[in-house]
Structure 1
Amino acid sequence: MIKNTEYAKRRRLLMRQAGEDSILILPAAPERVRSRDTHYPYRQDSDLLYLSGFAEPESVLVLVPGRKHGEVLLFCRERNAERETWDGPRLGPARAPGVLGLDDAYDIADIDDILPGLLEGRSKVYYHFGRDADFDLKLIGWVNRVRALIRQGARPPHEFLELGHLLNEQRLFKSRDELKAMQRAADIAVEGHCQVMRACRPGLFEYSIDAELSYVFRRHDAQHAYEPIVAAGNNACVLHYRDNKAALHDGDLLLIDAGAEWQGYASDITRTIPINGRFSAAQRAIYELVLEAQAAAIAAVRPGAHWDAPHMAAVEVLAEGMLSLGLLKGTLKQVLKKEQYKPFYMHRTGHWIGLDVHDVGDYRIDQQPRILEPGMVLTVEPGLYLDANNKQAPSKYRGIGVRIEDDVVVTEGGCRVLTEAAPKAIDAVEDWMQRSRAA
């Protein structure tokens, strides 16, 4: 989906910002042991993906602006017939430059010999300190080797800078091809949520619904963008519920927070549906309020608006509705000023999304909410959570948790909802579920 020409453009921009006296070092994500000699499924570091598309472990991308013998270098695993028999094919340093559009590539086994020479003469090192403690120590060791040669005329780096200060801002603005990939991830997630609405019924378990999502995602060469939340009944009041083992009971709601990752790009959708296919009066009242709040928040997403605008729009609708439903007392002004809504709505209304489901990018600049601009992609996800043990809520609402979430891209004329095809209006949800059961 992303072409080598786009990766090259990203690298050029980053190197231009860093300057010719710098070196930028991006190691691959380390492989993680699950137990004994088995590993968790591997997922490449998002920054390395963003700048190269290279997905193999045990690799390091090095950018050396202005270097006469090549600016873009990759250290990767050498081809090895025996290991490839066990673990699958490797690209190898001989093929990497041609396939990936790089200047040169080396065997990762040679990095100790080569990287100190690349550091010499560079005053600034851009790197993510703290992500990988083992690689941090290696980098410090390479720098110290250069420092040891100062009396012989070596010039070691003297400034270490956080790579994210440059790269995060670049990643925040999605290109046309990135938006196509994100739309594909969104479409797959929409299909997963629609399948859940077909399958949902009393007597199943949360893990049964989780399995429906996994089947749809894998069928489209995608995977979960994050650990899914499948929360029945009062479990929906646990924001990051992870157990996914409880039974689905007639009369309860089911909250599903699940997104697909396709070619590295994430989607993030939440829908809340009635397990028996019909909302009760109390459920309907809470759900309609959250849906109205989401509509107000999405309407606030447009160029020139600030980051807090969607959240403030959602909070005002929720607070006014909670007063009407008897969940809160006082005036709207008092409720907003004292944040009296927080026992029922305690989180923000969205986050950036892209290669990471909680993507990089500042939310504030000079202590002020940043201005939304075309190409930014964010989630909009208000909710209400009325825990069964919350005595502040009228009894008819206790045990109801509702969240509705979509992915929204800021456009020149306003915004576009990438995940709009997933039913969320009450009539649409009920009709979808009833028709699926009748089929």
Structure 2
Amino acid sequence: MASNLEAILAGKYPAKDHARKVAAYLKQKGLKDDGVIYLEGQKTKFIEDNDSEQPFRQRRFFFYLSGCLLPDALLTYHISSDELTLYIPPLDPDSVIWSGLPMSPAQAKDTYDVDKVLLTSEINPSLAQLGSQVGQNGVVFSIQGQISDSTDFVPFPNTDFLAVKTAIEECRAIKDAYEIALLRKANDVTAQAHVAVYKAAKSAKNERELEAAFIATCIAHGCRELAYHPIVASGTSGATLHYVNNNDSLIDPTTNKRKLNLLLDAAGEYRAYCADVTRTFPLSGKFSPESREIYDIVLEMQLETLKMIKEGVLWEDVHIAAHRIAIKGLLKLGILKGTEEELFDKRISVAFFPHGLGHYLGMDTHDTGGHANYEDKDKMFRYLRVRGNLPAGSVVTVEPGIYFCRFIIEPYLQSPESSKYIDNDVLEKYWEVGGIRIEDNIHVTKDGHDNLTSAPKYADEIELWINGS
């Protein structure tokens, strides 16, 4: 697997295929004549009141059609001639003193999957030539707010600043083999970083030490950038879905003992493609009885829903299945009371599992194409970031969780309608568990799925890693 992965990644990012895919989408949606796609990469930006550059993150729409991570670059794709051109900044003698020689057009042509490489100073003459070629009904497609003031679209009879953004968003949902390889590589590095945190868990005193172990491992193994700001949440902070302080002590000040668990939601980014992995583990090296009970429910939620995933499955059905497993598990522990159907109909499980089961993954952690409906009146589906049937080639996270968050649960306890379904006395034993989430990245295939995530997740295995066995 490793050698095959490296062989794929040794090739060029398939920018030309992506351009053709986007053009086909535009034609499917009504483009009858010729057109040109024009996209700009992210500009170099400087820190306010400082002459240092801000950290660079390439625009994803531009990268999808170029594979280029250079700042200040541009591209055109002429649909009828199938010609993809990359424009890179010209050499600036002053900047060479500080930054060295930039990539040359010849080097860029060898590096990227494009037909031509020109300089950005040539863009307007090139647009003028392209404008004369598209004919009286031709269109230039670009993205509103991502066009330089100096760019001249006058030669084109028509402009469209909406369609290409939508086209790229929809096309990005289905990944090709190269993109899957990028995601697998990001996951492989992420798995190594999670293991590094397991190894540091018993000796660390503060959340930031574990964050540092994670980041150092990612950088050392090729993920210079992170997919998102890590969540390193100890104790009851694990019940905060997007906790980002990452600076709390791992020792409970009231007991002077180590907190029960740490929820680590952290991942590397490799060549603009993101992993997204969560693991929850005991800081002592051994799950408490209550923690293990909840962990086993969450793991069952994930393992059973994974069995459902294949081309065409309705994501809402997978999400519902996770809730039903949560209800059964919490009923068995005595936290919930009533019948399974009544608890499901009353949406009581949302108090413990308030977010969606997962989201699309790719160049963005919450990737495009999911068609979420945040106006949904049904609270079980309001935060579901993917709606509808999963296509083969998509990559989705599967991240069930159970959380003991007072802010969310106490309104249920105070309501005469919902409080009768929760046993407050039993619940009291579980507050210190905080939150438990397990998240993997899943490539949907025609007949099933491929789990891209290899970070250890079975409880006994995690305990062995933490204890150095």
- State the TM-score, normalizing by the size of structure 2: 0.82
Q: Residue 439 of structure 2 corresponds to which residue in structure 1?
A: 405
Q: Distance in 1 between matches of 2:34 and 2:67?
A: 26
Residue pair 1:2, 1:177 contacting (<8 A) in 2 also: no
Q: Distance in 1 between matches of 2:460 and 2:13?
A: 46
Q: Note the C-alpha offset of 1:183.
A: 1.4
Q: Note the C-alpha offset of 1:406.
A: 0.5
Query: Which amino acid is the alignment partner of residue 328 of structure 2?
Result: E
Alignment map for 1:330-345 (pairs within 5 Å)? 330-345=338-353
Q: Distance in 2 between matches of 1:418 and 1:384?
A: 23
Alignment map for 1:2-151 (pairs within 5 Å)? 3-4=11-12, 6-19=14-27, 20-35=33-48, 36-67=50-81, 71-93=83-105, 95-112=107-124, 114-115=126-127, 118-119=130-131, 121=135, 123-130=138-145, 132=146, 135=147, 142-143=152-153, 145-146=154-155
Q: Residue 220 of structure 2 corresponds to which residue in structure 1?
A: 219
Q: CA 1:299/1:264 → structure 2, altered by over 3 Å: closer, same or farther? A: same
Q: Residue 292 of structure 2 corresponds to which residue in structure 1?
A: 284
Residue pair 1:352, 1:359 contacting (<8 A) in 2 also: yes
Equivalent residue for 1:382, pick from 400, 409, 433: 400
Q: Distance in 2 between matches of 1:423 and 1:357?
A: 21
Equivalent residue for 2:238, pick from 220, 228, 236: 236
Query: Which amino acid is the alignment partner of residue 247 of structure 1?
Result: S
What is the percentage of aligned positions where both structures have the same residue?
Answer: 30
Q: Distance in 1 between matches of 2:451 and 2:56?
A: 30
Q: Note the C-alpha offset of 1:114.
A: 4.3
Q: Residue 304 of structure 1 corresponds to which residue in structure 2?
A: 312
Q: Distance in 2 between matches of 1:383 and 1:88?
A: 48
Higher mean C-alpha deviation, range 40-49 or range 252-261? 40-49
Residue pair 1:225, 1:266 contacting (<8 A) in 2 also: yes
Q: Residue 261 of structure 2 corresponds to which residue in structure 1?
A: 253
Q: Distance in 2 between matches of 1:335 and 1:39?
A: 53
Q: Note the C-alpha offset of 1:136.
A: 6.5
SS in 2 for 1:422: coil
Q: Note the C-alpha offset of 1:224.
A: 1.2
Q: Note the C-alpha offset of 1:279.
A: 0.9
Q: CA 1:265/1:251 → structure 2, altered by over 3 Å: closer, same or farther? A: same
- State the TM-score, normalizing by the size of structure 1: 0.87
Equivalent residue for 2:459, pick from 426, 435, 438: 426
Q: CA 1:282/1:364 → structure 2, altered by over 3 Å: closer, same or farther? A: closer
- Matched length: 418
CA RMSD of aligned residues (A): 2.6
Q: CA 1:221/1:318 → structure 2, altered by over 3 Å: closer, same or farther? A: same
Residue pair 2:67, 2:113 contacting (<8 A) in 1 also: no
SS in 2 for 1:398: helix
- 1:151-177: CA deviations, max 9, x gaps? xxxx62154433133222322222222
Q: Residue 314 of structure 1 corresponds to which residue in structure 2?
A: 322
Q: Note the C-alpha offset of 1:255.
A: 0.3
Q: Note the C-alpha offset of 1:237.
A: 1.2
Q: Distance in 2 between matches of 1:309 and 1:158?
A: 41
- 1:355-390: CA deviations, max 9, x gaps? 22211223479x994322322111100111102565
Q: Distance in 1 between matches of 2:286 and 2:168?
A: 47
Q: CA 1:126/1:2 → structure 2, altered by over 3 Å: closer, same or farther? A: farther
Higher mean C-alpha deviation, range 94-103 or range 395-404? 94-103
Q: Distance in 1 between matches of 2:161 and 2:310?
A: 37
Q: Distance in 2 between matches of 1:168 and 1:341?
A: 32
Unpaired runs of at least 5, structure 2:
1-8, 28-32, 252-257, 377-385, 414-423
Alignment map for 1:154-233 (pairs within 5 Å)? 156-201=157-202, 204-222=205-223, 223-233=225-235
Higher mean C-alpha deviation, range 158-167 or range 272-281? 158-167
Residue pair 1:61, 1:72 contacting (<8 A) in 2 also: yes
Q: Note the C-alpha offset of 1:117.
A: 5.2
Residue pair 2:238, 2:263 contacting (<8 A) in 1 also: yes
Q: CA 1:34/1:396 → structure 2, altered by over 3 Å: closer, same or farther? A: farther
Q: Does 1:416 align with 2:450?
A: yes
Q: CA 1:271/1:99 → structure 2, altered by over 3 Å: closer, same or farther? A: closer
Q: Residue 151 of structure 1 corresponds to which residue in structure 2?
A: none
- 1:396-420: CA deviations, max 9, x gaps? 111321111001111233112111x
Q: Distance in 2 between matches of 1:350 and 1:6?
A: 27
SS in 1 for 2:391: coil
Q: Note the C-alpha offset of 1:235.
A: 1.2
Q: Distance in 2 between matches of 1:203 and 1:181?
A: 32
Residue pair 1:307, 1:363 contacting (<8 A) in 2 also: no
Q: Does 1:360 align with 2:348?
A: no
Q: Note the C-alpha offset of 1:303.
A: 2.0
Residue pair 1:202, 1:275 contacting (<8 A) in 2 also: no
